[in-house]
Amino acid sequence: MQIFKFGGASVKDAKGVKNLASVLKTTGYDKTLIVVSAMGKTTNAIETVIKSYLENKSELQSAIHEVIKFHNEILLDLFDNERHQVFSDVKAFFDELTLFFKTNKSPDYNYVYDQTIGFGEMISTIIIGHYLNDIGLKNNWLDVRHFIKTDNYYRRANVNWERTQELIASNFDSSKLNITQGFLGSDANNFTTSLGREGSDYTAAIFAYCLNANSVTIWKDVSGVLNADPRYFENAQLLHQISYTEAIELAFYGASVIHPKTLQPLQQKEIPLYVKSFLNPEANGTCVSKGKTLDPEIPCFIVKKNQILISLSSLDFSYIVEENISEIFSLLHLYKMKVDVIQNSAISFSVCVDNIYDNLEKLLQHLKAKFKVTSHNNVSLYTVRHYTDSAIKELEKDKTVLLKQLTQGTVQIVTK
């Protein structure tokens, strides 16, 4: 059993869907599960739909129409007959999306987000499933929400592993070519949940763990795991083989190629993870597996943009000790802040966070009741694994350094 995951960039248009089929023909597709993301920038487009619904309903229909138009263009490029069942299936999903906005009573953004954001995945997989069937790659379309069960922590749901294992074991036919959605699950009441942005990789790992798969392959528009994001760094190098431990470290610090949660279930069962290019499927790419990293420990650069650096100090110059730190972390948890860097001294405490849930102002007001607070918005967090002096020097050039922290093997620098 092998698991393939295709991201949005790989199926951004009809040409991408045809290339997905070509990859399957090249690599083989017996006993294969394909996990697919929304097409292109559909997730961003549906986020615009959600924003229109909550903030400016006069723009809602126009925003939905843009999503429909994008998918209709792909449909017309892939299917000659407009009476093909796929057109009805796609329309049914858009009708369901529209009906939700007409009937929903909840003002909770996170709930609304999870009930609607996954339509991109549902539509992409129904289109691809029909196309593969038409060209002779017979497949079984699965609704992932019937297999992956979670709690109701909307937008970052936690997997109920026991229930998920039961459902996959009893309902999944591993003898066929199957296709399903990434990123999604459902809670005990069958409301849709999401596993977090870029969670499709995690979906592939969940199925791999439950099915004892031979491997997971993530198909990307890059040659494999690189030592830096080529959008931000020049001369990025391919890492041919890395260990689970090193990959988890890179993912933890924000490397975008592999989702942070993906590696944990794979490591537990020693299932190898391959990251390959869908443009060159026969190339080796990167293998993440048990054992030592075979590549030399070259510096690996990771950047996270649009972070917030919060610096606290006591109002009376007293020490910031365990009691204060405990309270600070309770507030960070309360306001759902993702913490990326921590640094403290006797009378100060700094933390770099990702304001995913837009709770920054509430957090700052709460902190100001007990601390002197300063914050810097839109900062960049750079992390370098296996750093060298020259790598740090090059990174700091022409930047204002707000925070710098070195540990064995890793340096983190916050810049403005």
Query: What contacts 210, CB < 8 A, 6 or more positions away?
Result: 164, 165, 168, 169, 172
172-202: b (≥16 Cβ within 10 Å) or e: beeeebbbbbbbbbbbeeeebbbbbebbbbb
Residue 156 assigned to a binding site: no
Q: Which of 185, 121, 182, 180 is nearest to 153 (CA)?
A: 185
Residues 6+ positions from 320 with CB-CB distance below 8 Å? 312, 313, 314, 344, 345, 346, 347, 348, 349
Q: Could you give the CA distance from residue 37 to residue 350 in angstroms, rounded to a whole number?
A: 36
Could you tell me if 237 and 226 are in contact, meaning their C-beta atoms sit under 8 angstroms apart? yes
What φ, ψ does residue 316 adopt, rounded to 5°? Answer: -110, 20
Gap between the Cα atoms of 277 and 219, Å rounded: 5
Residues that constitute the known binding site for ATP: 231
Residues that constitute the known binding site: 231
